[in-house]
Amino acid sequence: MLRPKLPDIPTLPTTTVMPHQTQTPVSSAGRPVAPYAGVCLGAVAAVVVVGIVLTALLAAVAVSAVSVAIAAVVLRSLLSSANKR
């Protein structure tokens, strides 16, 4: 009943223009660069991830060592004060 009226689609000319290519392709130095770019980026990403993981593990070991050292000092203090009594 109340339908919107769509406008008519104008027709475009169908002539195609083919440009004339005047440049010759440049020959590569022997091997393509594109396949190695992905490998290089993957290797860099892997090194960064491994570095982050190793840094996190080193930080965890350092925090554990500090907490064990504090616990040892507290236990030593408690034991030495018990022996003096």
Q: Tell me the pLDDT of the chain (85 aa) as tens digits.
A: 678 787 777 776 676 666 666 666 666 556 655 556 666 778 888 999 999 999 999 999 999 999 999 999 999 999 887 766 6
Global pTM reads 0.48
Q: Cα(65)–Cα(58) distance, rounded to whole angstroms?
A: 10
Q: Identify the burial level of 28 via C-beta atoms within 10 angstroms of its C-beta, where 0-12 means exposed, 13-18 middle and 19 or more buried.
A: exposed
Q: Cα(18)–Cα(3) distance, rounded to whole angstroms?
A: 43
